Structures are given as structure tokens and as C-alpha cells.
């Protein structure tokens, strides 16, 4: 059997856990509470894959504005000029207001048309959708489960590696509202863990990753000069 090609997450330690990274062509959810680095991890992964692995990436934001995202990534040490147009940031939040009045089906249709046109133009190999709850809210599905199923099929037909970001509430272990967790090929969960009265640590774990033997354990997630690192949690 041919070896599966993998896309590195560029989180040191985590790629090893997954046998090198996310299998190419997978649709993977990054799910976590606010501020758990969902956007940063996705962006950082795309940035380094464009820079070092000849990938072309497209980040579709429906939530955080383009300028705010660019500023944040710049502050985190990513030099966006060095990747140029090979990492496109598309701000659909901007046109969201105008699209809302077009109605439900057409919004999803417009989203797909956008993504398809970009695929034809720049032929991206990695796509990020930030975020899935906003996309489904705008889509106003009448039959959520079957429409989402078709959306995932459409994503898979694009033959790209796809990251979909999903917001979770701190008090819940539900990764997704409409069954996206079952439709996804992989789930990476990010959370804040209270380690004492005053200390909170960021944690990351691979909940599932099809075609991959991986540890389901939580790791401590750190961000520093060398980028993201996942290390074993030292339990007392
Ligand atoms: N320059 C920086 N260096 C290190 N950490 C930073 C830097 N800038 C922001 N952060 C941290 O990153 C967090 C936000 O990360 P990010 O936006 O990726 O999270 P998110 O999970 O996408 O959040 P949201 O739910 O708001 O979309 C901030 O709360 C802050 O703690
Ligand atoms: Mg975010």
C-alpha cells in the first residue's frame, strides 16, 4: 500500500503523535473555546506549509476581520510578505451583510462559488474555514444534517486538506452542533485547563484522525519563539 502523504501541523510534538501530520485530503475540525489558538494554529500551519512545502493556502474568515487577523499573525512573527499570494486571506465577513438579504440557499451557493473560483485561480491545496458555526448560521439550513453531509462531500471532492474551525463553550464537550464531528475525518480539540486556583494551561489533543494511529491524550500547548509546541502533561 502506498504511504499516506501528510500535511504537517507545525505544532512540534503533535506531528509525531499523528505519524507526521494530517493525511492529505482530510477534512479536519479544530474545535475549542474562545482564545485557545484555533485561528493561530490554522494560520501558522498554512503559513509554514506555503513557505516550506510548496503548498498554496486559502484562509476564509467569516468572523475576525482580515486586518485584525493579519496584525495578529504579524505579531506572532509570521512574515506575510514572504508568502505573498500563495496564502490568500478572504474576508467573507465583509460581504456577509450584503449577502444576508439574498436568503439561505444563495448564501451557501455564493460561498461555494467563491471557493470554487479561487480554486480555479490559485489552485490552493489547503483551505481553512473560520468558522463553521458562523457558516452554518448564515446558511440557515432547512435540513441541517443532509445539507451538511453534502457540504462535506463537496469539500472532499475538491481534493484539498481542509481545516474547519469550531467554537466550543468551556462547559461543554460537544465538538459541533450539527454532527460535523461525525462527518469530519479528524478532530483536534483545544482547551483551557485549570491547573490550580490561579493557573490555566492550554491543552491540545487529537480526538480522532482517520487512517492514523495516534494518542488520544491531552498535551500541553505552548507558544514561543520557535512556534507551537505540544508537550506531555506532567501529572502529579
Ligand atoms: N503575539 C502573541 N504571542 C503569543 N500569544 C498571543 C499573541 N497574540 C495573541 N496571543 C494569544 O492568542 C489568543 C488568541 O488566539 P486565537 O485568535 O488564535 O484564538 P481563537 O481560538 O481563534 O479565538 P477566537 O475564539 O476568538 O476565534 C489570545 O487570547 C492571546 O492569548
Ligand atoms: Mg479565531
pLDDT at 121: 96
pLDDT at 150: 95
Q: What's the rounded Cα separation, in Å, for the pair 220 and 166?
A: 20
**20: Cβ contacts below 8 Å, ≥ 6 apart:** 6, 8
Q: Is 223 in the pocket of ligand 1 (CB under 6 A)?
A: yes
Q: Chain-wide mean pLDDT for the chain?
A: 93
- Which domains are present in the chain? 6-232 (3.40.50.300)
The share of the chain scoring above pLDDT 70, in percent, equals 94
Of the pLDDT bands very low, low, confident and very high (cuts 50, 70, 90), residue 47 is very high
Q: What's the rounded Cα separation, in Å, for the pair 43 and 191?
A: 18
Predicted TM-score of the model (pTM): 0.95
Q: Does pLDDT of 99 surpass 70? A: no
Q: Is 34 in the pocket of ligand 1 (CB under 6 A)?
A: yes
Q: Are 164 and 132 in contact (CB under 8 A)?
A: yes
Q: Which of the listed residues 30, 33, 39 should we mutate to test ligand 1's pocket, taking the one with most ligand atoms within 8 A of CB? A: 39
Which residue lies with its CA nearest to atom 29 of ligand 1? 35
pLDDT at 94: 74
pLDDT at 140: 85
**By C-alpha distance, which of 156, 155, 132 is closest to 144?**
132
Q: How far apart are the first and last CA of the chain?
A: 43
Span of 12-21, 83-92, 101-110, 183-192 with lowest mean pLDDT: 101-110
pLDDT at 108: 87
Q: What's the rounded Cα separation, in Å, for the pair 58 and 51?
A: 14
Q: What's the rounded Cα separation, in Å, for the pair 224 and 166?
A: 24
The β-bridge relationship of strands 200-209 and 186-194 is: antiparallel
pLDDT, average across residues 37-64 = 97
- Taking the centre of ligand 1 as the mean of its atom positions, its distance from the CA of residue 140, in whole angstroms, is 29
pLDDT at 89: 96
Q: Are 52 and 112 in contact (CB under 8 A)?
A: no
183 CB neighbour count, 10 Å cutoff: 19
Q: What are phi and psi of 109, to 5 degrees?
A: -60, -40
Q: Which of the listed residues 10, 29, 35 should we mutate to test ligand 1's pocket, taking the one with most ligand atoms within 8 A of CB? A: 35
Of the pLDDT bands very low, low, confident and very high (cuts 50, 70, 90), residue 236 is low
pLDDT tens, residue by residue, 146-205: 999 999 999 999 999 999 999 998 888 899 988 899 999 999 999 999 999 999 999 999
**By C-alpha distance, which of 24, 61, 31, 28 is closest to 43?**
61
Q: Enter the C-alpha cell of residue 232.
A: 506531555
- Taking the centre of ligand 1 as the mean of its atom positions, its distance from the CA of residue 123, in whole angstroms, is 29
- Taking the centre of ligand 1 as the mean of its atom positions, its distance from the CA of residue 136, in whole angstroms, is 23
pLDDT at 213: 97
pLDDT at 27: 98
- Taking the centre of ligand 2 as the mean of its atom positions, its distance from the CA of residue 226, in whole angstroms, is 21
Q: Is 75 in the pocket of ligand 1 (CB under 6 A)?
A: yes
Q: What's the rounded Cα separation, in Å, for the pair 236 and 232?
A: 12
pLDDT at 97: 63
Q: What's the rounded Cα separation, in Å, for the pair 228 and 57?
A: 19
Contacts 24+ apart (CB under 8 A), 76-83: 76/40, 76/44, 76/223, 77/225, 78/43, 78/44, 78/47, 80/47, 82/51, 83/47, 83/50, 83/51
Amino acid at each position: 500500500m502506498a504511504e499516506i502523504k501528510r500535511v504537517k501541523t507545525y505544532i512540534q510534538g503533535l506531528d509525531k503523535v499523528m505519524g507526521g501530520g494530517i493525511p492529505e485530503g482530510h477534512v479536519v475540525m479544530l474545535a475549542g473555546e474562545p482564545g485557545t489558538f484555533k485561528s493561530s494554529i490554522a494560520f501558522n500551519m498554512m503559513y509554514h506549509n506555503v513557505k516550506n512545502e510548496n503548498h498554496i493556502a486559502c484562509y476564509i474568515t467569516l468572523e475576525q476581520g482580515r486586518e485584525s487577523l493579519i496584525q495578529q499573525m504579524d505579531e506572532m512573527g509570521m512574515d506575510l510578505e514572504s508568502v505573498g499570494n500563495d496564502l490568500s486571506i478572504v474576508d467573507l465577513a465583509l460581504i456577509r451583510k450584503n449577502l444576508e438579504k439574498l436568503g439561505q440557499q444563495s448564501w451557501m451557493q455564493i460561498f461555494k462559488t467563491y471557493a470554487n473560483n479561487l480554486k480555479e485561480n490559485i489552485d490552493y491545496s489547503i483551505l481553512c474555514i473560520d468558522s463553521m458555526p458562523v457558516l452554518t448560521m448564515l446558511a440557515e439550513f432547512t435540513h441541517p444534517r443532509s445539507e451538511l453531509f453534502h457540504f462535506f462531500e463537496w469539500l472532499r471532492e475538491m481534493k484539498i486538506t481542509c481545516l474547519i474551525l469550531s467554537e466550543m463553550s468551556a462547559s461543554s464537550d460537544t465538538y459541533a452542533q450539527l454532527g460535523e464531528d461525525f462527518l469530519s475525518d479528524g478532530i483536534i480539540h483545544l482547551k483551557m485547563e485549570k491547573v490550580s486556583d490561579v493557573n490555566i494551561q492550554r491543552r491540545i489533543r487529537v480526538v480522532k484522525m482517520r487512517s492514523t494511529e495516534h494518542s488520544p491524550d491531552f498535551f500541553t500547548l505552548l507558544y514561543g519563539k520557535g512556534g507551537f509546541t505540544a508537550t506531555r502533561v506532567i501529572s502529579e
